[in-house]
Amino acid sequence: MLYLREFSEGKTPMELSGSAQKVQKELLAYGIQANVVELPGSTRTAIEAAQAIGCTVAQIVKSLVFRGATSGKAILIEASGINRVNENTVALLIGEAIVKADADFVREKTGFVIGGVPPVGHVSEMGAVLIDEDLFQYEELWAAAGNPHAVFRLTPSELLSMTSGRVVSIK
């Protein structure tokens, strides 16, 4: 954690990259007092993010985008960094099968690259937003903030508030 504070000290939102600035503005619009920080190392994977931040992998919020097999809608799943999405479970929850989205679909629907997709600020409305119930075990979470080097700290209740997602078991 000390590493994150030292690196982010003195950095203002205007110094952030364009995608990270967009996420910072979204957070402020939701009334979330979180500061987006960009790290020198990659936070593309949950393991990389946890190592860079100094938290557990389980505290990392993975914003995963799937595609509804029938509707073609983007399905956003906010998952704990240690959990895998059970596609059959999710299909039962949303009423259609899901398929993994490719990088082009993710970029088209969210406006962000894989590894940097935040919980909010997407260019398209999501067909469904599901939040992994396991995230509610923690007081502090960390999520991607627009690119594979940017993150922000939040609480489970802030995640729920900003996404209006449905809290479910994704396993």
Q: What average pLDDT score do residues 37-42 get?
A: 86
Residue 46, classed as helix, strand or coil, is helix
Torsion over CA: 12, 15, 20, 24 (sign): positive
Q: Give the H or E element holding residue 144.
A: strand 141-144
More confident residue, 33 or 118: 118
Q: Position 114: which residue type?
A: I
pLDDT of 61 strictly over 70: yes
The domain locations on the chain are: 2-168
Q: Is the pLDDT of residue 113 over 90?
A: yes
Report the distance separating Cα 35 and Cα 24, nearest Å: 7
Query: What's the CATH superfamily of 2-168?
Result: YbaK/aminoacyl-tRNA synthetase-associated domain (3.90.960.10)
Residue 19's pLDDT band, with cuts at 50, 70 and 90, is very high
Which pLDDT band, with edges at 50, 70 and 90, does 15 fall under?
confident
Q: Is residue 11 over pLDDT 70?
A: no
Q: What is the pLDDT of residue 98?
A: 98
pLDDT surpasses 60 at 13? no
- CB-based contacts of 100, cutoff 8 Å, min separation 6: 66, 67
| Model pTM score | 0.91
Q: 2 falls in which pLDDT band (50, 70, 90)?
A: very low
